[in-house]
Chains A and B, each alone.
Chain A
Amino acid sequence: MPKLRMNQAIALAIREEMERDPTVVTFGEDIAEAEGPFKTSEGLLERFGPLRVRDTPISETGFLGAAVGAAVTGLRPVVEIMFVEFLGVALDQVVTEAAMMHYLSGGRLNAPLTVRASCGSGLGFGCQHSQTLERWLLGTPGLKLAVASGARSAYGLTKAAIRDPDPVVVLEPRALYGRREDFEPGEDAVLPFGVGELLANGDDVTIVALGQTVGIALNAVSEANGWSADVIDLRTLMPWDRGIVERSVARTGRLVTVEENQLTGGWGGEIVSHVASRCYSDLRGPVMRITAPDVHVPYGSELEAEYLPSSPYVAKQISELISTDKVPGHWWEDTR
C-alpha cells in the first residue's frame, strides 16, 4: 500500500476524478503553475492543461461565484480556498447561492461544486489563518460539509465531494497535510457522506471527534488509564451520522466531543444536544464537550499548543468525568 501525505492524497483524488469526468475543472489562487501553496494540486496543470486547471486572481467572491455559475450549467468545479478565513468574502456565494440553486430552480438545476479549504491551528499562522470555522456553514440547508482527518479520509471525502450532485465544502486541517498514512486508493476508498467511522472500540465512553481532533482523541485513548472508549471520526457534519453515535452511546452510556473550535457555537453542541434529548435513557453520566476556549487562536507554539485540546488533557478530562460522574471545568476556568 502506498504511504501518501494528505496533500498528495488530495491531489490524487482530484486527478482521478478529472480523468474519469471531463466536466471536472479546478481553480483557485496559485493552484495551477505553483501547484498549490500546500501542494494539493501537484501535476494537475501539466496533465490537464490550462483550460481545466486555472490560477485565479485573489478574488474569492468572483471565482466562487463563477464556480456556482459553472456548476449549474454543466461543470463540476473544484475550487480551493487557501485559508478557510478567505471564505468570509465569499460566504454569500456558498450559503446564499450554491446552497440554494437546487431549490431556486424548482429542483431542475444542481450545483455540484466542491469547495476545498485549509483550516485549523498548529502551524503558527496566527489568529486570521488558524480557525476551523465549521460554524459559519453549519445548519445551512442544501450544503454538505466534510472534514478530513488524514490522507485516507481526505482522499475518500474529496472524491465523494466531486461526485456529489450538491455543493460540498471539504475542510482540510492544514497541520495534517504533511502526515503520511497507509491506504489503498481506488473505488473502495471513496467515503460516503453521513457515515462516521469507528476507529477504536471501548466500553466506558463514546468520543466523537472531527478533523485534527481525531488523532488527538486516538492518542488520548492510548494513554487512558483504567477506562476504554469508542472513538468515532464523524467525517461529515452535514449530514452527520446520528446512527453511529446513538449505537455507541447505547453501549457506553457516556458521550464526549473533542472539538478544535471554540466552545460557543461549536459543532459538538449539535451532537450533545441530540444525544441528551434523544438518547437520555442510555446515558449514565452527563454529556461533555472538550473544546478550545472562546478566544482567538494565539500566536507562538506554547500558547497555540495550550489552545488546542491536547491528548493528555482529553485523557485527564475523561478520567475525571468517569470517576466523578461530573463534568470537570475547562482548563481556562482555573486560569482566570
Chain B
Amino acid sequence: MSSPVLPEETEVQLDAVSRRLALTNDVAVRFARMVEIRLLEDRVIDLFGEGLIPGTTHTCQGQEAVAVGIAGATRPDDVVVCTYRGHGMALALGVTPDALLGEILGRQIGCMGGIGGSMHLSDSSVGLLPTMAIVGAGIPIAAGSALTAQVLGSDRISVSVFGDGSTNIGGFHEGLNLAAIWRLPVIFVCENNLYGEYSRIDRTTPIEDLALRAAGYAIPSETVDGQDVDAVLSVIERAAARAREGEGPTFIEAKTYRYAGHSRSDKAAYRPAGELDSWLERDPVRLYGEKLIANGTLDEEGIERIWAEQRDALEATLERVLASPRASTADMFTRVQASGS
C-alpha cells in the first residue's frame, strides 16, 4: 500500500490558508500536522536550553489532538482566540513553521514581525486573533468577535480555547454569561490538562469535570477525549453547526494532558509518580497514527516517512529562521497605534 501524496511542504512553501485547507481536507495532513507540532515543541525546548531564546515559553506536547481537531472542524474565516500556550493551535490553524519559529526567535519573518515572541502569535488570514498572555483574557474577546458576526449577519463563528486554570477567573464566567444571554455564535473549548500553571486542579477547583460549569449559564456542554483527534473534530463540528444556525454557544471540555511543565523553567516535579507515564500510553500522535494504519489510510512506512519529512522540514525551517534578520529598532515604534498622531 502506498502513502497518499502529501503537499510538499519542504520544497514549496505553502501559505497559511493553503496549509489550513490541506489539513481540513486530508487526514494524513492532520497526522503530519500533529507530528509537526510535537517536533517543533520539543525543538523549542531545546532552543531555550541552548540559550538561543530569552524569556519563557509554554509548550503543548500531549495536547496536539485538540488543536488539530479544532482546526479541522472550522473554516479559515472563523475566528480563534487562544492562549500563550499557542504554538500548536497556530500551526494547526495554518501558521507556517517559519512564521512561528521566526516569531519565537524574534525575527522579522515571524507572524508578528518578531516583536511578540512565544506568547504572542497572530495571523488574521486564518482567523487567529492575537494570543493573550493573560489567563482567561481571550474568553470575553471571543464572545466579542462572535458579536461581530451576529451584528453583521455573517455565519462566521468564534472558538475560544483556554485551559482549566482559566475557569476560575472572572472573565471566564462573564464571557460565558454574555455569550449565553446574547446567544452568540461561539464555542468555548476548555483544554483540561489537569494543571493551572504549577497547581493541580484538585488544589484550586472544587470539581474535576469542568463542563459542569456551563450548566450555570444554560450553555449545552460536551466532554470529549482530548487525545482522540477525530472525537475532538466531530464534537467541534456539532458545536459549529449549532453556532452557525444561530443556536448560541456550546461548551466543550477536552480531557487532555500537558507533558511538559507550565513553562520552560518548570520541571513539573509536583506531578504524582506515574501520572505522565499513564498519559503517554494514550499519546495522541501515536494513537492517531495507529488508527490511520488500522483503517488503511497509511502504512508503517508512511508513518515513518511523515516523521522523517517533518524532522527534515523543521531543521530546514530553523536554518532559514536563524539566517533571517531580527526585528529592528524601527519595528518597536511602527505598530504602537494605527493612527499617526
A-side residues, CB < 8 A to B, are 23, 25, 51-52, 54, 56-57, 59, 61-75, 77, 89, 92-93, 96-97, 100-110, 112, 141-142, 144, 164-166, 193-194, 239
Whether B140 contacts A102 by the Cβ 8 Å rule is no
B25, CB-defined interface residue at 8 Å: no
B341, CB-defined interface residue at 8 Å: yes
Whether B140 contacts A62 by the Cβ 8 Å rule is yes
Q: Contact string, B156-188, partner A, CB cutoff 8 A, digits 1/0?
A: 001000000000001101110110011000000
Closest to B177 in A: A57
**Inside 8 A of B170's CB, which chain A residues have their CB?**
59, 61-62, 89
**Inside 8 A of B341's CB, which chain A residues have their CB?**
193-194, 239
**Inside 8 A of A164's CB, which chain B residues have their CB?**
339
**Inside 8 A of B181's CB, which chain A residues have their CB?**
57
Other contacts beyond A69-B144, A96-B137: 19, CB < 8 A: A61-B174, A62-B177, A65-B137, A65-B141, A66-B147, A69-B146, A70-B144, A70-B145, A70-B147, A75-B152, A89-B170, A97-B134, A103-B335, A105-B122, A107-B334, A109-B122, A109-B130, A112-B338, A142-B337
**Inside 8 A of A101's CB, which chain B residues have their CB?**
130
Q: How far is the CB of B223 from the nearest CB of chain A, in Å?
A: 24
Whether B336 contacts A63 by the Cβ 8 Å rule is no
**Inside 8 A of B124's CB, which chain A residues have their CB?**
105, 108-109
Q: Which of A23, A61, A73, A106 contacts B111 (CB 8 A)?
A: A106
Whether A71 contacts B115 by the Cβ 8 Å rule is no
Whether B115 contacts A66 by the Cβ 8 Å rule is no
Whether B141 contacts A75 by the Cβ 8 Å rule is no
Whether A104 contacts B178 by the Cβ 8 Å rule is no
Whether A106 contacts B116 by the Cβ 8 Å rule is yes
Q: Which of A61, A75, A92, A193 contacts B147 (CB 8 A)?
A: A75
B28, CB-defined interface residue at 8 Å: no
**Inside 8 A of A165's CB, which chain B residues have their CB?**
337-339
- Could you list 10 A-B pairs, sorted by A, with CB under 8 Å? A23-B151, A61-B171, A62-B174, A65-B143, A66-B175, A68-B140, A69-B129, A69-B140, A73-B129, A104-B112
Cα-based distance from A59 to B172 in the complex (angstroms): 11
Whether B171 contacts A74 by the Cβ 8 Å rule is no
Closest to A67 in B: B144
Cα-based distance from A141 to B151 in the complex (angstroms): 30
- A72, A77, A106: which has the most chain B beta carbons within 10 Å? A106
Cα-based distance from A74 to B146 in the complex (angstroms): 11
- A63, A66, A110, A142: which has the most chain B beta carbons within 10 Å? A66
Whether B141 contacts A68 by the Cβ 8 Å rule is yes
Cα-based distance from A106 to B137 in the complex (angstroms): 19
Whether A66 contacts B143 by the Cβ 8 Å rule is yes
Cα-based distance from A66 to B143 in the complex (angstroms): 5
Whether A59 contacts B178 by the Cβ 8 Å rule is yes
B139, CB-defined interface residue at 8 Å: yes
Given the known inter-chain contacts A72-B129, A108-B122, please indicate yes or no for A92 contacting B144, CB distance below 8 A: no
Whether A63 contacts B178 by the Cβ 8 Å rule is yes
Q: How far is the CB of B146 from the nearest CB of chain A, in Å?
A: 8
User: Contact size class for B?
Assistant: 35 or more
**Residues 315-341 (chain B) with a chain A CB within 8 angstroms:** 334-339, 341
Q: How far is the CB of A111 from the nearest CB of chain B, in Å?
A: 8
- B124, B132, B150, B151: which has the most chain A beta carbons within 10 Å? B151
Closest to B111 in A: A106
**Inside 8 A of B132's CB, which chain A residues have their CB?**
97
B-side residues, CB < 8 A to A, are 79, 81, 111-113, 115-116, 120, 122, 124, 129-130, 132, 134, 137, 139-152, 158, 170-171, 173-175, 177-178, 181-182, 334-339, 341
Whether A62 contacts B178 by the Cβ 8 Å rule is yes
Closest to A64 in B: B140
Cα-based distance from A165 to B151 in the complex (angstroms): 19
Whether A74 contacts B152 by the Cβ 8 Å rule is yes
Closest to A54 in B: B182
**Inside 8 A of A193's CB, which chain B residues have their CB?**
341
Closest to A106 in B: B112
Closest to A102 in B: B338
Q: Which of B150, B182, B336, B339 contacts A141 (CB 8 A)?
A: B336
Q: Which of A61, A68, A89, A105 contacts B112 (CB 8 A)?
A: A105
Closest to A100 in B: B130
Q: How far is the CB of A18 from the nearest CB of chain B, in Å?
A: 12
Closest to A164 in B: B339
Q: Which of A25, A59, A68, A102 contacts B337 (CB 8 A)?
A: A102
Given the known inter-chain contacts A23-B152, A66-B144, A68-B141, please indicate yes or no for A56 contacting B178, CB distance below 8 A: yes
Q: How far is the CB of A195 from the nearest CB of chain B, in Å?
A: 9
Closest to B113 in A: A106
Given the known inter-chain contacts A108-B124, A109-B130, please indicate yes or no for A142 contacting B336, CB distance below 8 A: yes
**Inside 8 A of A71's CB, which chain B residues have their CB?**
144
Cα-based distance from A62 to B139 in the complex (angstroms): 8
Given the known inter-chain contacts A23-B152, A97-B132, A109-B124, please indicate yes or no for A65 contacting B177, CB distance below 8 A: no
Given the known inter-chain contacts A104-B120, A106-B335, A107-B334, please indicate yes or no for A72 contacting B174, CB distance below 8 A: no
Cα-based distance from A151 to B132 in the complex (angstroms): 38
**Inside 8 A of B112's CB, which chain A residues have their CB?**
104-106
Cα-based distance from A141 to B337 in the complex (angstroms): 8
Q: How far is the CB of A9 from the nearest CB of chain B, in Å?
A: 24
**Cβ-closest 9 pairs across A and B:** A65-B140, A69-B144, A62-B174, A66-B144, A69-B141, A104-B130, A165-B338, A107-B335, A59-B174
**Inside 8 A of B143's CB, which chain A residues have their CB?**
62, 65-66, 69
Closest to B181 in A: A57
Q: How far is the CB of A90 from the nearest CB of chain B, in Å?
A: 9
Whether B116 contacts A63 by the Cβ 8 Å rule is no
Closest to A113 in B: B144
